[in-house]
């Protein structure tokens, strides 16, 4: 063979066999051993041939590279080789002539060698092989590559790379897996072509189905485009193996919203090829004590996300907030999230501040279309969950009714959702489930209680156990509420404000049991409910307060608590005023030494509000 700068030498890929070898071509091989009649050369671990001693041109050592031309492939599979000397050449790798398939087709290819083109969504180094999680336009599957125990295979491949993987489809522990023979990082136009193909297909696949709402609602109808947008964002995160962190307010409404979405996401993860435990490391639901995304929350979420990114090669997560996320109180956390380019989306019914939208990729809020907090987060979350995965509807269709009574909604949608499930859940049963959620979440503290919460919401197909559990929890909650009311109600003080509203004040720090159920906010709510019944038809405001906080509940007084908080912050220097919530239900924080000034200013503003 004449030397040439254009000469091509082929390197046989690790998955190639005899069928991939062509007579007349030159291959780079490795000397395996010697015999009296010649030199054995490995073209890869599966294919070897013989250079007859008459065709050996130089001396070699074992494992040394040698260039050989395939002179003949005999009928019995033996390969006759000639050694060649080529000073200048370029190498091309020969890949296995395998079937190009999509990941969704692997179940039909067990035992066969396939070729996959996709994106690396995760790289996990185990004590054995390196596990690459691959994503293409059809699904998600794992590919296992082994060099030696605990050693990173294909270190040149990084998270987000577009790759071509060749390997045999196997089933391990009832999970499909590709045993990698070769993995090639694609670059240039080839990578762009594959990535564009996957992106376009995923965009179509992520589009939610066009399904009707569970109930008639003008507000929800107007919110459908934004709900579809967020559902598509969540679906795409699932299909691309992007982790999702769902943060929600730790009350019945927040839990209902979050759990509806949780059921949709977890089922979709499993349907799209996730591992048996994918729903635990790709989806995390976390309660937030406050009705906004606190610095403590973002710090915890970033800590987990960064650790998982470094230890397990996971993507940075999508953060979804339900029953919080719409107000200025969320801004410090949003600014931290922005530093790490985290995607943030919100499903909330608190009165929104426009400034938050610059940090969000999606924001469902009834106030944006003329609605109010009567459209609860549980209603919104359930409708979004149905868009994420319509198959989950039969399991979660009662959740909006639970959220409606739990959050004391007075919107017409409340009754419509109750009517939707009246054959299986009475209004009292929905109310009991909501109370059980509040009660159990108090003892769970910051834990999500994933499985026990599913039991309370009757999502486990065990109605008999559900009934027994609700009975026990409701009895326990009501006994503690009654005990708290017996201690607190005698200490409620009343005054009439200039606008005719009846203001009731209770110091929950000294006239309520501490560190037990119900906590100060719910204690104030229970007091307010009793006072509203005792003063039916009258404008009533209940103000429960402690050393550095106040909780407001109103009926018939048209306040704007977020605005009042902002005004007090400016009007009382050194008061450290913060807080917010709904227009007529919310909380205020302040420094203990300025309590009297803050309460005095707060009461003055309540007295200036219009009454119904």
φ, ψ for residue 436, nearest 5 deg: -60, -40
Q: What is the pLDDT of residue 98?
A: 64
Mean pLDDT throughout 209-224? 97
Q: What does the block give as tokens for 164?
A: 């071509």
pLDDT above 90 coverage of the chain, percent: 77
What architecture (CATH level 2) is domain 99-205?
A: Beta Barrel (2.40)
| Strand blocks (E) in 98-174 | 99-100, 113-125, 130-135, 140-145, 162-172
CA count, 13 A, side-chain hemisphere, 453: 29
* Extents of the domains making up the chain: 8-94, 99-205, 207-425, 492-611
Q: How confident is residue 13, by pLDDT bands cut at 50, 70 and 90? A: confident
pLDDT one-digit tens code per residue, 103-162: 999 989 898 888 899 999 999 999 999 999 999 999 889 999 998 898 999 999 999 999
Whether the upstream peptide bond of residue 518 has omega within 30° of 0, thus cis, is: yes
Condensed to tens digits (0 to 9), the pLDDT of residues 418-464 reads 999 999 999 999 999 999 999 999 999 889 999 999 999 999 989 99
pLDDT tens column, 347-356: 999 999 999 9
Q: Do domains 8-94 and 207-425 have the same CATH topology?
A: no
Tokens of 403: 């959220």
φ/ψ of 393, rounded to 5, equals: -55, -50
> Following DSSP, what letter does each residue of 562-604 receive, concatenated?
HHHHHHHHHHSTT---EEEESSSEEEEE--GGGHHHHHHHHHH
Whether the Cβ atoms of residue 276 and residue 237 lie closer than 8 Å to each other: no
| Mean pLDDT score, 477-504 | 97
Alpha-carbon distances of 611 from 375, 386, 530, 558, 599, rounded to whole Å: 22, 39, 20, 6, 20
The CB density around residue 139, as the number of other CB atoms within 10 Å, is 21
Q: Are 140 and 239 in contact (CB under 8 A)?
A: yes
With bands split at pLDDT 50, 70 and 90, how would you rate the model's confidence at 2? Answer: very low
Rounded Cα distance between 156 and 473, Å, is 55
CB atoms within 10 A of CB 574: 10
pLDDT at 97: 66
Kindly state the DSSP code that residue 251 receives in the 8-state scheme. S
Task: Tell me: pLDDT of 1 over 80.
Answer: no
Sign of CA dihedral 416, 419, 424, 425: positive
76-108 pLDDT per residue, tens? 889 999 999 998 888 888 877 666 789 999 989
Question: pLDDT grade, residue 371 (50/70/90)?
Answer: very high
- pLDDT for 346: 98
- Residue in 176, 305, 175 with CA at minimum distance from that of residue 242: 305
Q: What are phi and psi of 416, to 5 degrees?
A: -65, -40
Domain 492-611 has CATH 3.10.310.30: yes
**Regarding the domain delimited by 8-94, which CATH topology (the fold level of the hierarchy) does it fall under?**
OB fold (Dihydrolipoamide Acetyltransferase, E2P) (2.40.50)
Mean pLDDT of the chain: 92
How many CB atoms are located within 10 Å of the residue 359 CB?
18
pLDDT of residue 277: 61
The CA radius of gyration of the chain, in Å to the nearest whole number, is: 33
CATH number of 207-425: 3.90.1640.30
Q: What is the pLDDT of residues 574-603, one digit of tens each?
A: 999 998 888 888 899 999 999 999 999 999
**What's the confidence (pLDDT) of residue 3?**
44
- pLDDT of 308 > 90? The answer is no
Predicted confidence (pLDDT) per residue in 150-193, tens digit: 899 999 999 999 999 988 899 887 788 999 988 999 999 989 99
Give the rounded percent of residues in the chain with a pLDDT score beyond 70: 97
pLDDT digits (tens, 9 = 90+) for 323-345: 999 998 899 999 999 999 999 99
Instruction: Tell me the pLDDT band of 27, cut-offs 50, 70 and 90.
Output: very high
516 conformational bin, left if phi > 0, alpha if psi -120 to 50, beta if neither: beta
């Amino acid at each position: 063979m004449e030397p040439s700068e254009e000469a091509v030498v082929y390197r046989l890929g690790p998955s190639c066999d005899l069928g991939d070898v062509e007579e007349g071509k030159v291959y780079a091989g490795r000397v395996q051993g010697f015999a009296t009649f010649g030199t054995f050369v490995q073209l890869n671990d599966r294919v070897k041939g013989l250079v007859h001693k008459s065709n050996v041109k130089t001396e070699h050592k074992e494992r040394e590279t040698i260039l050989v031309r395939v002179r003949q492939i005999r009928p019995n599979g033996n390969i006759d080789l000639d050694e060649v000397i080529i000073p200048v050449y370029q190498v091309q790798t020969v890949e296995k002539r395998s079937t190009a398939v999509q990941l969704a087709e692997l179940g039909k290819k067990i035992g066969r060698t396939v070729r996959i083109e996709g994106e690396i969504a995760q790289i996990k180094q185990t004590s054995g092989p390196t596990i690459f999680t691959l994503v293409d336009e059809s699904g998600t599957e794992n590919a296992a590559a082994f060099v030696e125990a605990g050693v990173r295979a294909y270190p040149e491949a990084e998270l987000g790379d577009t790759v071509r993987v060749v390997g045999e489809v196997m089933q391990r522990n009832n999970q499909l897996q590709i045993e990698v023979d070769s993995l090639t990082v694609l670059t240039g136009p080839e990578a762009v072509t594959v990535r564009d193909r996957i992106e376009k297909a995923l965009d179509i696949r992520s589009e939610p189905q066009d399904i009707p709402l569970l109930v008639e609602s003008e507000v929800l109808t107007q919110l459908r485009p934004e709900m579809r947008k967020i559902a598509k964002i969540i679906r795409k995160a699932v299909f691309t193996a992007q982790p999702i962190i769902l943060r929600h307010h730790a009350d019945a409404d927040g839990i209902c919203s979050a759990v509806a979405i949780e059921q949709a996401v977890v089922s979709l993860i499993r349907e799209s090829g996730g591992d048996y435990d994918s729903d635990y490391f790709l989806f995390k639901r976390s309660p937030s004590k406050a009705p906004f995304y606190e610095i403590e929350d973002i710090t915890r979420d970033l800590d987990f996300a960064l650790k998982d990114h470094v230890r397990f090669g996971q993507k940075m997560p999508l953060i979804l907030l339900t029953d919080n996320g719409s107000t200025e109180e969320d801004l410090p956390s949003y600014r931290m999230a922005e530093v790490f380019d985290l995607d943030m989306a919100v499903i909330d019914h608190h009165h929104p501040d426009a400034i938050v939208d610059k940090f969000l990729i999606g924001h469902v809020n009834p106030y944006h279309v003329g609605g109010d907090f009567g459209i609860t987060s549980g209603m919104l979350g359930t409708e979004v969950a149905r868009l994420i995965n319509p198959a989950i509807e039969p399991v979660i269709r009662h959740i909006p009714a639970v959220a409606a009574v739990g959050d004391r909604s007075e919107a017409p949608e409340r009754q419509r959702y109750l009517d939707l499930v009246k054959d299986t859940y009475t209004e009292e049963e929905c109310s009991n489930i909501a109370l059980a959620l509040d009660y159990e979440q108090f003892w769970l503290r910051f834990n999500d209680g994933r499985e026990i919460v599913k039991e309370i919401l009757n999502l486990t197909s065990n109605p008999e156990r559900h009934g027994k559990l609700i009975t026990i929890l409701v009895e326990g909650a009501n006994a503690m509420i009654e005990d708290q009311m017996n201690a607190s109600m005698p200490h409620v003080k009343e005054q009439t404000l200039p606008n005719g509203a009846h203001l009731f004040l209770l110091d929950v720090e000294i006239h309520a049991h501490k560190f037990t159920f119900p906590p100060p906010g719910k204690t104030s709510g229970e007091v307010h409910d009793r006072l509203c019944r005792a003063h039916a038809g009258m404008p009533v405001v209940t103000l429960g307060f402690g050393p550095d906080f106040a909780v407001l509940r109103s009926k018939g007084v048209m306040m704007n608590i977020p605005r009042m908080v902002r005004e007090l912050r400016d009007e009382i220097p050194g008061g450290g005023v913060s807080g917010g919530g709904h227009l007529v239900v919310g909380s205020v924080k302040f420094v203990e030494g300025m309590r009297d000034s803050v309460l005095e200013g707060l009461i003055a503003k309540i007295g200036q509000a219009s009454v119904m």
